[in-house]
């Protein structure tokens, strides 16, 4: 174009270059540009929001780091203080363990000594019980005249020597054979025996006296056996009498039991009859009597009678019953009939 017209561009300088594209393409490009700007603005807003969140998170992180440093310092201080307290507790524990070992050793020594003393006490108690048993035996085989004066377990009532019920006191006070009495109870029993014991006396001065007593006891036992043999026949007769009496008593008891059974049956029958009569009375009261007194028909009849009474006689201010109102109506009717009989025929008509 400059070869043909060198001033061509000079003349066109400053003019608007004609858009060779179409309007649809322009609108599409504009939409695309606006969409791109919108997306860019959204991305920019997201970047700003992310930056703000990052700043906030950084602030929170800094705050957490400060608290963390405070917590670390406090924890280190706590560890140091706890270490000191733990060392103090360990020192006290070691001291306590040492004292415990010493006390355990002392307790073991004391327990050993107590066990030895307990064993000695049990041995002495067994010997004491044996001696008391021998003393009680010698008191029992001694004559009653001497026992009544020197035996504390023997008392005199109405001129008859009575042995106390504490014959087995020596063994019963120490518990059963399979039980082991405590050391305190043994010492207490021993102290009571010492406090209550009198000066011991002995009837037998020579061992042969005891042998003579045994021989006398043998003679007494022999005489007792002979006496028992002489009483054998009366005992047999008495046993036969006891058997007969037992049979008779059993027969009477059987008759009494039979009579009791008859009475029980009669009582049961009377109770059943009473129940049936009570049921029948309830039936009469709740059924027949209620039907006669307060049924619907009776109430209707009472209303009709009361209405007739009020129309023919007077108001029922006295709360009369049906029978009384009917009698009043009958009297009024009879009076009217008698008056009608006395009136002339034309008046009646």
Q: How open is the CA angle 52-54-60, to the nearest 5 degrees?
A: 105
Is 267 a residue whose pLDDT tops 90? yes
Indicate whether 150 belongs to any domain.
no
Total number of domains constituting the chain? 3
329 CB neighbour count, 10 Å cutoff = 16
**Is 278 in the same domain as 328?**
no
**Is 270 in the same domain as 221?**
no
Is 218 a residue whose pLDDT tops 80? yes
Indicate whether 25 belongs to any domain.
no
Show the tokens assigned to 44: 């920019």
* pTM of structure: 0.33
Is 299 a residue whose pLDDT tops 60? yes
Name the residue with higher pLDDT: 24 or 163: 24
Name the residue with higher pLDDT: 224 or 294: 224
Name the residue with higher pLDDT: 10 or 114: 114
Indicate whether 14 belongs to any domain.
no
Q: How open is the CA angle 194-200-205, to the nearest 5 degrees?
A: 155
- Dihedral pair phi/psi, residue 154, rounded to 5°: -120, 130
Indicate whether 39 belongs to any domain.
no
Indicate whether 72 belongs to any domain.
no
Residue 22 has what DSSP assignment? -
Pick from 275, 290, 305: which residue ends a domain? 290
Residue 180 has a pLDDT of: 58
**Is 329 in the same domain as 309?**
yes
Residue 197 has a pLDDT of: 67
Q: How many CA atoms lie within 13 A of 309 on its CB side?
A: 20
Helices (H), 231-295: 232-283, 290-294
Is 170 a residue whose pLDDT tops 60? no
**Is 272 in the same domain as 223?**
no
What number is the average pLDDT over the span 62-87? 90
Show the tokens assigned to 83: 């270490």
Residue 293 has a pLDDT of: 66
Chain segment 96-129, per-residue pLDDT in tens = 999 999 999 999 999 888 888 888 888 888 888 8
Q: How many CA atoms lie within 13 A of 250 on its CB side?
A: 6
CA 138 – CA 134 distance, rounded (Å): 6
- Strand-pairing partners, residue 157, are 160
What number is the average pLDDT over the span 278-292? 76
**Is 300 in the same domain as 267?**
no
Chain position carrying tokens 């042995």: 163
Mean pLDDT score of the chain? 80
pLDDT bracket for residue 161 (50, 70, 90)? very low
CA 65 – CA 349 distance, rounded (Å): 132
**Is 299 in the same domain as 323?**
yes
Indicate whether 211 belongs to any domain.
yes
Please enumerate in sequence order all residues whose Cβ is within 8 A of that of 100, keeping only pairs 6 or more positions apart, or say none.
none
What number is the average pLDDT over the span 279-300? 75
Q: How open is the CA angle 188-193-196, to the nearest 5 degrees?
A: 120
Q: Lowest-pLDDT range, 36-45, 180-189, 203-212, 302-311?
A: 180-189
**Is 342 in the same domain as 300?**
yes
Residue 154 has a pLDDT of: 64
Indicate whether 280 belongs to any domain.
yes
**Is 299 in the same domain as 343?**
yes
**Is 285 in the same domain as 303?**
no
**Is 341 in the same domain as 300?**
yes
- Strand-pairing partners, residue 161, are 156
Question: For the chain, how many residues are written?
Answer: 349
Indicate whether 145 belongs to any domain.
no
CA 304 – CA 311 distance, rounded (Å): 11
**Is 225 in the same domain as 239?**
no
Q: Lowest-pLDDT range, 66-80, 198-212, 308-322?
A: 198-212
Please enumerate in sequence order all residues whose Cβ is within 8 A of that of 209, keeping only pairs 6 or more positions apart, or say none.
203
Distances (CA, A) of 102 to 185, 203, 335: 31, 58, 131
Range of the domain at 301: 295-348
Pick from 252, 270, 290: which residue ends a domain? 290
**Is 331 in the same domain as 342?**
yes
Q: Lowest-pLDDT range, 9-18, 214-223, 238-247, 256-265?
A: 9-18
Show the tokens assigned to 179: 């039980």
The secondary structure of the chain in percent helix, strand, coil, rounded to multiples of 5, reads 80, 0, 20
Residue 156 has what DSSP assignment? E
């Amino acid at each position: 174009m400059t070869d043909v017209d060198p001033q061509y561009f000079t003349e066109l300088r400053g003019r608007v270059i004609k858009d060779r594209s179409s309007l649809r393409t322009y609108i599409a490009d504009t939409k695309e540009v606006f969409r791109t700007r919108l997306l860019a603005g959204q991305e920019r807003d997201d970047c700003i929001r992310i930056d703000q969140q990052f700043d906030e998170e950084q602030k929170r992180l800094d705050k957490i780091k400060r608290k963390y440093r405070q917590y670390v310092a406090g924890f280190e201080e706590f560890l140091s203080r706890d270490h000191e307290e733990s060392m103090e507790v360990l020192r006290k524990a070691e001291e306590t363990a040492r004292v415990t070992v010493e006390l355990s050793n002392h307790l073991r020594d004391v327990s050993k000594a107590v066990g030895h003393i307990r064993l000695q006490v049990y041995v002495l108690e067994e010997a004491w019980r044996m001696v008391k048993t021998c003393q009680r035996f010698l008191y029992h085989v001694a004559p009653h005249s001497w026992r009544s004066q020197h035996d504390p377990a023997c008392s005199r009532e109405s001129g008859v020597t009575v042995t106390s019920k504490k014959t087995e006191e020596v063994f019963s006070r120490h518990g059963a054979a399979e039980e082991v009495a405590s050391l305190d109870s043994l010492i207490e029993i021993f102290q009571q025996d010492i406090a209550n014991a009198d000066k011991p006396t002995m009837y037998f001065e020579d061992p042969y006296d005891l042998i003579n007593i045994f021989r006398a006891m043998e003679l007494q036992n022999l005489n007792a056996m002979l006496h028992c043999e002489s009483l054998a026949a009366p005992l047999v007769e008495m046993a036969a009498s006891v058997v007969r009496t037992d049979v008779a008593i059993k027969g009477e008891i059987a008759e009494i039991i039979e009579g009791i059974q008859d009475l029980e049956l009669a009582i049961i029958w009377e109770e059943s009859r009473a129940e049936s009569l009570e049921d029948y009375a309830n039936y009469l009261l709740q059924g027949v009597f209620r039907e006669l007194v307060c049924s619907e028909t009776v109430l209707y009849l009472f209303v009709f009678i009361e209405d007739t009474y009020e129309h023919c006689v007077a108001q029922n201010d006295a709360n009369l019953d049906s029978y009384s109102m009917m009698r009043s109506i009958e009297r009024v009717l009879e009076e009217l009939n008698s008056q009608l009989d006395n009136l002339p025929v034309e008046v009646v008509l």
